[in-house]
A and B are shown apart, each in its own frame.
Chain A
Amino acid sequence: MPDAAPQPRARPGAVPAVEVSGVRLSFEDRRILDGVDLRVMAGERMVILGSSGCGKSTLLRVMLGAYRPDEGRVSVFGRDITAMAEEELNEMRRRWGAVFQGGALYNSMTVGENVALPLRENTQLDDSIIAIMVRMKLDLVGLSDFEDLKPAQISGGMAKRVSLARAIALDPEILFFDEPTTGLDPVTGGGIMRLINDLTVKTGATGVIVTQDMSCAFTCADRIALLHGGRVHAVGTPGEIRDSSDPLVRQFINGDPDGPIPFRLCRDNCAGALRAPPRRKSGRRPRPGSGEAEPAASP
């Protein structure tokens, strides 16, 4: 399958919105991204799937220009952002919005001020117009009654929706999502997925969605990319991915613990310890990103 990965389904006249080529990135000798190639066409929703700790968030940050890759380049709308000066990059950043894993709302500001901030800082609009726009954006995510609350006073799902409202404040051309549905109940998660779909369709924005949630992937994706071992292992439409015969892809969509992606709870089989009541203490779960449950990059 990796060789037979379908070519990008270029629509007539479609241009790449984000193009990642040969990106390598290491943290303290640990190579997280090892030659990632990915092309997201304008107007499509690309879902990036991968197991926990495989570097999805890292890849997203590279695309957002927050991490500079050791090698390779990232182009957004045909312009190489890895070689850009901060000033120039900030101009580009006004054309996209991002929703982070935990919402990342500014805790010292109210919900309304959070959404207003990009407008205040990047436009010369009057306060009264900004107030109307904030109300509109919050309406869109169904939270117009919560404008005056602080982020600490709303739930995780609401925080993600506010974060979405903030991300679309400047009507971005690309929307980036990090785990938009993780940790939410199915109904709220479904609501977020519908919002993602509606928003990208209505505004024609490109969507880049990082997730490990299969239902989110199949609901939102025009195309799916599977990240494994620091590379894009397979790319295809949801149909192509579902019918793939690649063992790794099959394992991922079936959620099978046995297969090419190694699975272990932690180094010294804690699952065994879990079954023995007196030694319960050591039966801790691996923390995401702690590197314990990672698919071993080295065998």
Chain B
Amino acid sequence: MIGRALEFMGQRLIGWLDLLGGSWRMILGTAYWTASPRATGVGGLRRQSVAEQMVRVGIRALPIVCLVNLIVGMILAVSMGGPMREMNYINAVPKIVALAITRQLAPMMTAIVMCGFVGAAIAAELGTMTVTEEVLALQVSGLNPVRFLVVPRMLAVVAMVPCLTVLANFAGMLGGYLVGTHVFGIGPALYQSLNNQAASAWDIVRGSFLKGPLFGMIITAVACHEGLSVKGGAEGVGRATTRAVVASIVAIIVADLFMTALFITIWGK
């Protein structure tokens, strides 16, 4: 009985280590193919497909990311508004929303939306390509699948997540503003000035450009690893897609904790 339980846990552990190792290899591979002396010219970086992926990743995800963050800002304001009014401190609402959005929620919600948006799409796409032997065909004709499939996606996602996060910050604060001014009757000018006291450009910048790329890297690395290691037909693709989304959400939350702790250690707040 205990043996079985240990075996089960062992297998789980191996699974997670495999995922970790595989994802790490995707990141190293991308770094290698982006930085290698062959990055230009024949056999090098495929700029056009990076641009293609950026359009796919960025433009299509934009409305959803903004909508989700807008609503998160509204929820935050609605749920804080009641208690704050009871405490006679309604003016705290803009500050709470601004701080929560810029420090935590915008980077994390954007990354989680992107897990479902591009993580699932990448895992399913590469998984299907693996099953239909497309990846094998690339490999045996001397075209490295990492350079060909992973690099453009990784670069595109790493570039787009920060941009989306910047916009997500504004969408989130706008959500708070709408609720604060219309539901709780805070004057627009007052709301804006309170908001600006709490939200700092620095918070937005480090949330977007330090957390964002890391989250983007996690999403793509996990999705690409899962997609490229699919076994067993359409069913396998489904399983890989689910695993990619779940694993990258978990990884992002863990990474967010570490990043936040790191920020506090370095900058004191």
Q: Which A residues fall within an 8 A CB radius of B? A: 61, 64-66, 86, 89-91, 93-94, 96-98, 100-102, 104-107, 117-118, 121-124
User: Does B18 sit at the interface, judged by CB under 8 A?
Assistant: no
Q: A65-B140, A66-B139 are in contact. List 13 more A-B contacts (CB 8 A).
A: A61-B136, A90-B142, A90-B144, A104-B132, A104-B136, A105-B134, A106-B129, A107-B128, A107-B132, A107-B134, A117-B143, A121-B143, A124-B42
**Distance from A231 Cβ to chain B, minimum over Cβ atoms (Å):** 24
Contact yes or no, A102 B132, CB < 8 A = yes
The answer, yes or no, to whether B137 is at the interface (CB within 8 Å) is: yes
Which residue of chain A has its CB nearest to the CB of B139?
Answer: A66
Is the pair A94, B142 in contact by a Cβ cutoff of 8 Å?
yes
Query: Residues of B contacting A123 with CB < 8 Å?
Result: 42
A sample of 28 cross-chain residue pairs with beta-carbon separation below 8 angstroms, ordered by A number, consists of: A61-B136, A61-B140, A64-B140, A90-B142, A90-B144, A91-B142, A93-B140, A94-B141, A94-B142, A96-B140, A98-B140, A100-B137, A102-B132, A102-B133, A104-B132, A104-B133, A104-B134, A104-B137, A105-B134, A106-B134, A107-B128, A107-B132, A117-B143, A118-B141, A118-B143, A121-B42, A123-B42, A124-B42
Contact flag A107-B129 (CB < 8 Å), given A94-B142, A121-B42, A124-B42: yes
Q: Which of B43, B129, B132, B133 has the most CB of A within 10 A?
A: B133
- Beyond A122-B42, A123-B42, A124-B42, whether A93 also contacts B133 by CB under 8 A is no
State the CA gap A66–B145 with chains docked (Å).
Answer: 12
Chain A residue nearest to B42 (CB atoms) is A124
- B134, B138, B144 pick with most chain A CB within 10 angstroms: B134
The closest CB in chain A to the CB of B148 belongs to A121
Residue of B nearest to A63 (CB): B140
The answer for the CA separation of A64 and B137 in the assembled complex, in Å, is: 10
User: From residue B254, how far is it (CB to closest CB) to chain A in Å?
Assistant: 31
Q: Mark B128-169 against chain A: 1 for CB-CB distance below 8 A, else 0.
A: 110011101111111110000000000000000000000000
A120 to chain B, nearest CB (A): 8
Give the interface centre of B128, B132, B138 by most chain A CB atoms within 10 Å: B132
A122 vs B144: C-alpha distance when bound (angstroms): 12
Nearest 9 A/B pairs, CB to CB: A93-B142, A90-B142, A104-B133, A104-B137, A64-B140, A100-B133, A104-B134, A98-B140, A94-B142
Contact A93/B141 with A104-B132, A121-B42, A122-B42 known, Cβ cut-off 8 Å: yes
State the CA gap A106–B144 with chains docked (Å).
14
A258–B136 Cα gap in the complex (Å)? 36
Please name the residue on chain B nearest to A118 by beta carbon. Answer: B141
Let me know if B133 and A101 touch, CB within 8 A.
Answer: yes
Residues of chain A lying within 8 A (CB to CB) of residue B136: 61, 66, 100, 104
